[in-house]
């Protein structure tokens, strides 16, 4: 489902004959907040993910007497994106999918959404929507659902766990898909002194296209190269040996094959290390660039944006912290 994102719409319309339920007609209201995420972190292809403090917030009110299965009001913050008001919406599709799996009838719901996560920028927008949909389905259907079950459903819908795990658990998630198809996930501590600088070029890049650019087979030296650096990254972050992160974030499995898809990416990945800059990588499938930084934020952001500006591509720069809580929900 990762490649089936949305037709954007900032406006909500309803048939003139339909009205939102009055207060007396409403059932319980639940709210879910899910963080954005970045994945790979360089060498950790399809196994490293990091939750970020950009959020998708969804309130679901059960509307027992509604004639339509759902209605929505959507808003966004600057840099985020409004979500669609039709049944193509990934949150609603996820709720319907999970209800069917649980053999439950999904009641009519009114959804109010506020999104800070940009779509199609490698920041886990689809993963956040899927996690929100699964949890809301469990809440409105009054079904107990363990984190492990949520992760299993989310991985099935997303295709791989590297974004959904940090959105669910928060922090730095290391994931592995086992031979029987289940997911092993471990949440690791992320050092507070390491911030996340994300530079997003204004170029379209569908995840499906970015995935198609990858080769079907991997050379043995390239596999060893990434294994060494993924292991080094984990050890360096745990030990606070940040001088090793620059080398540990290098990659041969995916970034090299995606350079041609994003004008300016090759120049960014080849840029020299600057004071305060620990490492650089493509955020997820791109096109955003992820930088691990400690200070000197303005100079680093400008240096990363420069190759895109030389291609007449506008950019958005965000300085973010890691979200350590993951998905949060409450009953109102």
List pLDDT tens digits, range 222-277.
999 999 999 999 999 999 999 999 999 999 999 999 988 899 999 999 999 999 99
Nearest-10 crossing angle of helices 125-140, 147-158:
130
Same domain, 100 and 178: yes
Residue tagged 């691990």 (tokens) = 292
Which range, of 45-49, 163-167, 259-263, 316-320, averages the lowest pLDDT?
259-263
Count of domains for the chain: 2
Same domain, 115 and 40: yes
Identify the helix (H) or strand (E) that includes residue 60: strand 48-62
Q: Average pLDDT of the chain?
A: 88
In a domain, 9, yes or no: no
For the whole model, what pTM was predicted?
A: 0.87
Token pair of 138, please?
């469990």
Please, where are the H alpha helices in the chain? Answer: 90-101, 125-140, 147-158, 164-169, 207-212, 220-239, 245-248, 255-258, 265-269, 297-309
Q: What is the mean pLDDT of residues 192-201?
A: 97
Residues 6+ apart with CB under 8 A from 206: 3, 120
In a domain, 10, yes or no: no
Q: From the centroid of its chain, how far is CA 13?
A: 28
CB 49 within 8 A of CB 172: yes
Report how far apart, in Å, the C-alpha atoms of 194 and of each of 134, 164, 242 are: 31, 22, 9
State residue 70's pLDDT score.
65
Same domain, 148 and 42: yes
Residue 148: domain span: 23-189+323-331
3 CB burial (10 A radius; 0-12, 13-18, 19+): middle
Q: Which residues pair with 326 in a beta bridge?
A: none
In a domain, 3, yes or no: no
Q: For residue 38, which phi and psi values (nearest 5 degrees)?
A: -120, 155
DSSP tag of 261: G
74 CB burial (10 A radius; 0-12, 13-18, 19+): buried
Same domain, 170 and 212: no
Same domain, 276 and 146: no
pLDDT tens digits along 288-305: 999 999 999 999 999 999
In a domain, 79, yes or no: yes
Nearest to 267 by CA among 226, 211, 312, 306: 306
Higher pLDDT, 331 or 50: 50
Same domain, 284 and 178: no
DSSP letter string, 290-302: EEEESS-HHHHHH
Q: Which value, to the nearest 10 degrees, does the dihedral of the CA atoms of residues 135, 141, 147, 153 take? A: -80
Long-range own/partner contacts, residues 81-84 (CB < 8 A, 24 or more apart): 81/6, 81/8, 81/115, 81/117, 81/118, 81/119, 81/125, 82/8, 82/9, 82/10, 82/115, 83/6, 83/8, 83/9, 83/113, 83/115, 83/129, 84/6, 84/7, 84/8, 84/9
CATH of the domain at 94: 3.30.230.10
pLDDT tens digits along 142-191: 999 999 999 999 999 999 999 999 999 999 999 999 999 899 999 999 99
Same domain, 173 and 285: no
Question: Does position 61 have pLDDT exceeding 90, yes or no?
Answer: yes
Rounded Cα distance between 250 and 270, Å, is 10
In a domain, 224, yes or no: yes
Same domain, 176 and 28: yes
């Amino acid at each position: 489902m990762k490649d089936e994102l949305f037709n954007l719409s900032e406006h909500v319309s309803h048939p003139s004959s339909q009205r939102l339920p009055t207060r007396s007609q409403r059932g319980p209201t639940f709210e879910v907040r899910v963080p954005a995420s970045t994945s790979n972190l360089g060498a950790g292809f399809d196994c490293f993910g990091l939750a970020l403090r950009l959020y998708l917030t969804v309130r679901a009110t059960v509307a027992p007497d509604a004639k339509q299965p759902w209605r929505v009001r959507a808003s966004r913050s600057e840099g985020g994106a409004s979500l669609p008001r039709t049944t193509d919406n990934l949150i609603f599709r996820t709720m319907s999918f999970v209800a069917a799996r649980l053999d439950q009838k999904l009641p009519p719901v009114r959804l109010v959404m506020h999104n800070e996560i940009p779509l199609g920028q490698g920041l886990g927008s689809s993963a956040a929507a899927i996690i929100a949909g699964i949890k809301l389905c469990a809440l409105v259907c009054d079904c107990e659902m363990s984190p492990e079950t949520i992760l299993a459903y989310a991985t099935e819908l997303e295709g791989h766990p590297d974004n959904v795990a940090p959105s669910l658990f928060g922090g730095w998630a290391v994931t592995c898909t086992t031979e029987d198809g289940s997911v092993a996930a471990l949440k690791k501590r992320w050092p507070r002194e390491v911030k996340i600088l994300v530079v997003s070029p204004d170029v379209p890049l569908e995840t499906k296209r970015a995935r198609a650019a990858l080769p079907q087979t991997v050379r043995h030296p390239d596999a060893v190269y990434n294994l060494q650096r993924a292991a080094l990254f984990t050890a360096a972050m745990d030990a606070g040996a940040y001088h090793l992160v620059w080398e540990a974030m290098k990659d041969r499995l995916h970034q090299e094959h995606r350079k041609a898809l994003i004008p300016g990416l090759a120049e960014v990945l080849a840029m020299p290390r600057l004071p305060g800059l620990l490492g650089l990588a493509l955020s997820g499938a791109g096109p955003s660039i992820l930088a691990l930084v400690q200070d000197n934020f303005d100079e680093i952001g400008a240096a990363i944006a420069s190759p895109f500006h030389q291609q007449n591509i506008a950019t958005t720069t965000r300085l973010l912290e890691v979200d350590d809580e993951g998905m949060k929900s409450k009953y109102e």
